[in-house]
Amino acid sequence: MMKEGKMERMRLVVMVIVGLLLGQRVTAQTDHVFKMVKENGHFFIETTVNGVEAKLMFESGVPGLMMGDAFYEAHKEALQMEVKACDEKIRYLNGMYNVTASAEARLRIGDAYFEGPVKIVEGQSDLKMPIHMLHHSADSSSIVRMDLGNSEFRVISRERMQALTKDATAFDISFNKWGMPVVNTRLSMDVGGRQVTIKGNFIADMGNASLLFLNKSREAVQAALKESGVTLQAARDKNGKVVAEGLYADRLTICGKTNSGVSVGVHTFKSLDEYGFLGLKFFTMPTVFDFSNQKMYLCN
Fold of 35-135: Cathepsin D, subunit A; domain 1 (2.40.70)
Domain boundaries, the chain: 35-135, 169-298
- pLDDT value at residue 12: 58
Report yes or no: 205 and 58 within 8 Å, Cβ to Cβ: no
β-pair type (84-92, 52-59) = unpaired
Domains 35-135 and 169-298 alike in fold: yes
Whole-number pLDDT of residue 25? 42
Q: Which fold has domain 169-298?
A: Cathepsin D, subunit A; domain 1 (2.40.70)
Sorted by sequence, the CB contacts under 8 Å of residue 40 that are 6+ apart come out as: 209
Question: Which pLDDT tens digit goes with each residue over 16-55?
Answer: 444 444 444 444 458 999 999 988 888 999 999 999 999 9
Residue numbers in the chain where pLDDT is lower than 50: 16-28
Q: Smallest Cα–Cα separation from 247: which of 186, 202, 183, 194?
A: 194
- Looking at residue 300, what is its pLDDT? 79
What's the pLDDT at 178? 81
The model's pTM is 0.84
Output the pLDDT for position 18. Answer: 44
**pLDDT value at position 224?**
96
Distance (Å, whole) CA 224 – CA 200:
12
Alpha carbon distance 147, 283 (integer Å): 8
